[in-house]
Chains A and B, each alone.
Chain A
Amino acid sequence: MSQRQIELEVLRYNPETDTEPHFQRYSVLCEDEWVVLDALNHVKATIDPTLSYRWSCHMAVCGSCGMMINGEPKLSCKAFLRDYEGVIRVEPLAHFPIQRDLVTVIDDFVTKLRRVKPYLIPKEEKSIEAGEYLQTPAELKKYKQYTLCINCMLCYAACPEYGLVPKFIGPAAISLAHRYNQDSRDGGREARQQEIAATEGVWECSFVGACSEVCPEHVDPAGALQQVKIKSTIDWYQEHLMPWRNK
Chain B
Amino acid sequence: MAKSNKPIVWGLFAAGGTVTAFVIPALVLLTLLPALGVVPELLAYDNLRAFAGHWLGKLVLFAIIFLSLWHAAHRLRVTLHDFGVRADLLVAIAVYLAAATGSLAAAYYLLRL
- A residues with a Cβ closer than 8 A to B are 160-161, 164, 193-195, 197-201, 203, 206, 208, 229-230, 232-233, 235-237, 239
Contacts and interface: CB of A to CB of B under 8 A. Distances in A.
Contacts of A208: 82
B1 A194 contact: yes
A10 B7 CA distance: 44
Interface of B: 1-8, 10-11, 14, 78, 81-82, 84
Contacts of A235: 3, 7
A232 B1 contact: no
A232 B7 contact: yes
B10 A195 contact: no
A200 B1 contact: yes
Nearest to B75: A206
A230 B11 CA distance: 8
B11 A203 contact: no
A220 B10 CA distance: 21
26 contacts: A160-B82, A164-B81, A164-B82, A164-B84, A193-B3, A195-B1, A197-B4, A198-B1, A198-B2, A198-B3, A203-B6, A206-B81, A206-B82, A229-B10, A229-B14, A232-B3, A232-B7, A233-B11, A233-B14, A236-B3, A236-B5, A236-B7, A236-B11, A237-B7, A237-B11, A239-B3
Nearest to A161: B82
Given A206-B81, A206-B82, A208-B82, A198 B4 contact: yes
Contact of A201 (B4, B5, B14, B84): B4
A206 B4 contact: no
